[in-house]
A and B are shown apart, each in its own frame.
Chain A
C-alpha cells in the first residue's frame, strides 16, 4: 500500500522579468555603467536563467492556494475530501499561521490537517515524503502537497550575485491512497554543520530587556556562500541519485527524466557530467522561472505532466537540495 500522484497544478505570477529589465534595475541601484553593467549575457552565462516571474502583490499563500485549487479542479476532487495539506516554503506570509492553514481557508478544505515544512529547496520532497507516510498508512486518503515561494520579498535587489537567481511561484500535487506504491525509493538528509552557508529571514533575539537590535529589512534577505552551496549541491545531487537507484537495482537507463531543483544550469551540467549521462535526461525550465526554491520541482513536474510527457509506468527521479543544508531524492513510478 502506498500513495500515487493523481494531479498536478501550478500558480505562477503573470509578471515575467527579463534579464535585460532586471539588469537595468541592478545597474541603476549600483551605478554600474558600460562594460561593468549587468545584461542578459552576464546572467545567462552564470546561471542559464533568462527570466523569472515576480509577484505584483500576491503573497505566498495566494500562489499556494492557486496551485491547490488547480489540482482540485483537474482531478474533480471536492475540497472537503482533502484530509491533509502540507506546504513547503522558506518565504511564508507569517511565522504563524502556517501556510497549510492559509490554503485551507482559501480553498475551503475544512476537514484537512494542515501544516508547513521548512526545508528550503528540498522542502517539496520532504513534504511529499511526509504526506506519503500519512496517505500510505491510511491515516489520510487524499493530500495536497505544495511548494510555494515569494523569494522576491527576501531578495537583496542591490546584490547582483544573488538577485538574478530567484523567482516566485507555486505548484502542487494531489496524492491519494493506492494499493501500489508509486514512490519506489527515497533518500532524505540534512547537514546541519553547514547550516550557516545559506540563510534567509533571520529573526534577532531582540526583546524589551536585552538591547539586541531588532530585525532590519536586510535580515530577511537570502545570503549564500556560493562555493559551499555549489560544492554540496553537485556532490550530494550526484551521490543521492545513484544511491536511490542502486537500492532499487536500477540504473540511469531505467529513468525517463530526472527533475532536479532548478538552481543553476551549471550545477545540472556538472551533475550530468559526474553521472556520465546526457544532460537531456534532466528536465530544465530554470531559463524561464529562475530558482523558485521549494516550488521549482513541482513546477517542473507540472510542466512535464501538462505537456503529456509522462506515461503510466515511467520512472522519474525528483531531486532537491538546498538550505539546511538539506537534500531529498525520490524515485517515482508515474
Chain B
C-alpha cells in the first residue's frame, strides 16, 4: 500500500513507467533526479502521508522511503 503510493508519486514526478519502479530503485541514480527533483518527490510523500521527513538524505532507495514512512506513521500512532 505505502509502496504503491510512493511508486505512483515518483512516476508522476519523473514520467517513469510505474512498472519500472521497484523497492530497489535508486532514487538519485535510477531516476536521474537532482536534489530539487528529489525534494519535490519527498515533499509529495510528506503531503500524501501527513508526515515530516527530517533527514531526506537517508533515503537512497525507494525501500528506504517506504521504511521511513512506516516508521513515522508508527511513531505518530
Contacts and interface: CB of A to CB of B under 8 A. Distances in A.
A98 interface: no
Contacts of B65: none
Complex A-B, nearest 4 residue pairs according to Cβ-Cβ distance, in ascending order: A226-B35, A230-B39, A227-B35, A266-B36
A231 B56 contact: yes
Contacts of A267: 36
Contacts of A230: 35-36, 39
Contact of A226 (B34, B43, B55): B34
B42 A231 contact: yes
Interface residues of A, number: 14
Interface string B31-47: 00011101110110000
A234 B36 CA distance: 10
Contact of B36 (A197, A228, A264): A264
B46 to A, nearest CB: 9
A227 B38 contact: yes
B23 to A, nearest CB: 20
A230 B33 CA distance: 14
B26 to A, nearest CB: 14
A225 B57 contact: yes
Contacts of B57: 197, 225, 227-228
Interface in A92-132: none
B59 to A, nearest CB: 8
Residue of A46, A228, A229 with most partner-chain B CB within 10 A: A228
Interface string A220-260: 00000111111100100000000000000000000000000
B43 A228 contact: no
Interface of A: 46, 197, 225-231, 234, 264, 266-267, 270
A273 to B, nearest CB: 10
A46 B38 CA distance: 13
Nearest to A197: B57
A228 B57 CA distance: 6
A264 B43 CA distance: 17
B34 A231 contact: no
A197 B57 CA distance: 10
A227 B56 CA distance: 7
A172 to B, nearest CB: 31
Residue of B39, B40, B55 with most partner-chain A CB within 10 A: B39
A270 B40 contact: yes
Contacts of A46: 34, 36
Residue of A197, A230, A264, A270 with most partner-chain B CB within 10 A: A230
Contacts of B55: 228
A30 B57 CA distance: 26
Nearest to A265: B36
Contacts of B42: 227, 231
B13 to A, nearest CB: 13
A199 B19 CA distance: 39
Contacts of A228: 55-57
28 contacts: A46-B34, A197-B57, A226-B34, A226-B35, A226-B36, A227-B35, A227-B38, A227-B42, A227-B56, A227-B57, A228-B56, A228-B57, A229-B35, A230-B35, A230-B36, A230-B39, A231-B42, A231-B43, A231-B53, A234-B39, A234-B43, A264-B36, A266-B36, A267-B36, A270-B36, A270-B39, A270-B40, A270-B43
A270 B46 CA distance: 14
Nearest to A266: B36
Interface string B46-77: 00000001011100000000000000000000
